[in-house]
């Protein structure tokens, strides 16, 4: 097996363990909403796409895909939510900011922040970017918004 692939697999396993440990600590944190950042406030007040809803994502980890989803909703003219990797627990999305077509999502972990830096594409229905782990690993990730149910009459 290639050394880089083994390191990526080991790092991914460590991330899964970290995520599981972090999830226990997240539930003990205060539940009051965090104030939105100026960037989120400014973008929510403009013609930026409505990001509310459920987003399915796939992150590439070496030769494997790591799927999951995150849910976003409006909070204080910005965005907040949670992220769930199918192989681990649900974690809180901390700052989520949008500026133009660029976005930044941060998930806190015991070892440090995990960031998703991306661009909105396809009319705001797709996010394409890179996950940056606290250990320096950078992994590609794509998220696609689930179709919205038709409004009931």
Report the phi/psi class of residue 62: left, alpha or beta, with left for phi > 0 and alpha for psi in -120 to 50.
Answer: left
Partnered with residue 117 across adjacent β-strands are 104, 130
pLDDT at residue 46, as a whole number: 52
Give residue 113's pLDDT.
86
pLDDT of residue 129: 98
Identify the residue with better confidence: 39 or 112: 112
> What pLDDT is stored for residue 124 in this prediction?
92
Each residue's pLDDT tens digit, 42-89: 344 456 678 999 999 999 988 999 999 999 999 887 888 999 988 887
CB 15 within 8 Å of CB 133 = yes
pLDDT recorded at residue 10: 35
pLDDT digits (tens, 9 = 90+) for 8-36: 333 333 343 333 333 333 333 333 444 44
* pLDDT at position 47: 63
Give the span between the Cα atoms of 125 and 110, in whole angstroms.
Answer: 31
pLDDT digits (tens, 9 = 90+) for 90-127: 888 988 889 999 999 999 777 778 999 999 999 999 99
| Cα separation values, 90 from 16, 36, 76, 123, Å | 11, 21, 22, 27
């Amino acid at each position: 097996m290639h050394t880089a692939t083994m390191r990526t697999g080991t790092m991914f396993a460590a991330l899964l363990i970290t995520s599981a440990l972090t999830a226990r600590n997240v539930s003990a944190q205060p539940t009051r909403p965090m104030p939105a950042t100026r960037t989120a406030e400014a973008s929510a007040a403009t013609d930026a796409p409505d990001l509310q809803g459920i987003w399915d994502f796939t992150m590439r980890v070496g030769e494997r895909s790591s799927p999951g989803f995150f849910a976003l909703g409006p909070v204080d003219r910005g965005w907040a939510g949670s992220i769930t990797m199918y192989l681990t627990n649900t974690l809180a999305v901390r700052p989520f900011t949008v500026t133009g077509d660029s976005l930044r999502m941060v998930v806190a972990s015991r070892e440090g922040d995990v960031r998703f830096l991306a661009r909105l594409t396809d009319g705001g229905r797709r996010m394409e970017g890179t996950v940056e782990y606290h250990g320096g690993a950078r992994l590609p990730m794509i998220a696609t918004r689930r179709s919205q149910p038709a409004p009931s009459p």
